[in-house]
């Protein structure tokens, strides 16, 4: 059998892991506010691919609230809170480059992004 060689060059520098996690997101800009719910399909320490069926503009700063699959001490639900910028948007998904992230106990009220993370790089 002939071995298949792909001409596709992988440009990502970080390993991506497949997921199927619910995510709620909101834009951090007031000019064109965006909010919605989607599904994380893959993630690395530098980015997240979200399945969502509406267009989101490239460059939009977002806060992501991802329901994390593991529990603290095996019983306390967690959320991954991440801030990043939309790098690309396809018809069924968008990719976010992560700038910062942290975990919090699910159900606790979130602090405004400027208080919990400091100021955004562009704001």
Question: Would 116 be classed as within a structural domain?
Answer: no
Cβ-Cβ contacts under 8 Å for 39 (sequence gap 6 or more):
20, 21, 22, 23, 50, 51, 52
Give pLDDT tens digits for 60-77.
Answer: 999 999 999 999 999 999
Question: Would 117 be classed as within a structural domain?
Answer: no
Is pLDDT of 105 > 60? Answer: yes
Q: Higher pLDDT residue, 31 or 101?
A: 101
Q: What is the mean pLDDT of the chain?
A: 83
Give pLDDT tens digits for 15-33.
Answer: 899 999 999 999 998 888 8
d(CA 54, CA 120): 25
Question: Would 99 be classed as within a structural domain?
Answer: yes
Question: Would 9 be classed as within a structural domain?
Answer: no
Q: Based on the structure, what is the number of domains in the chain?
A: 1
Q: Do 15 and 67 contact (CB within 8 A), yes or no? A: no
Is pLDDT of 95 > 50? Answer: yes
Q: What pLDDT is attached to residue 30?
A: 80
Q: What pLDDT is attached to residue 29?
A: 87
Is pLDDT of 116 > 60? Answer: no
Which region holds residue 101: left if phi is over 0, alpha if psi is between -120 and 50, else beta? beta
Backbone φ and ψ of 29, nearest 5°:
-110, 145
Q: Higher pLDDT residue, 110 or 91?
A: 91
**Confidence class for position 79, pLDDT limits 50, 70, 90:** very high
Question: Would 72 be classed as within a structural domain?
Answer: yes
CA-nearest of 73, 64, 74, 71 to 43 is 64
Question: Would 46 be classed as within a structural domain?
Answer: yes
State which residues form the domain around 56. 17-107
Q: Higher pLDDT residue, 81 or 1?
A: 81
CATH assignment of the domain containing 33: 2.40.10.220
Cβ-Cβ contacts under 8 Å for 44 (sequence gap 6 or more):
12, 14, 15, 16, 17
Question: Would 123 be classed as within a structural domain?
Answer: no
């Amino acid at each position: 059998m002939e071995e298949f060689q792909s001409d596709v060059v992988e440009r990502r520098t970080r390993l991506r892991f497949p997921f199927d996690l619910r995510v709620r997101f909101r834009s951090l800009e007031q000019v064109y506010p965006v909010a919605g719910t989607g599904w994380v399909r893959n993630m690395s320490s530098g980015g997240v691919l979200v399945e969502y069926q509406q267009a989101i503009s490239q460059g939009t700063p977002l806060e992501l609230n991802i329901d994390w699959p593991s529990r603290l001490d095996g019983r306390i639900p967690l959320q991954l809170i991440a801030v990043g910028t939309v790098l690309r948007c396809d018809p069924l998904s968008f990719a976010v480059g992560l700038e910062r992230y942290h975990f919090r106990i699910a159900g606790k009220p979130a602090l405004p992004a400027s208080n919990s993370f400091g100021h955004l790089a562009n704001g």
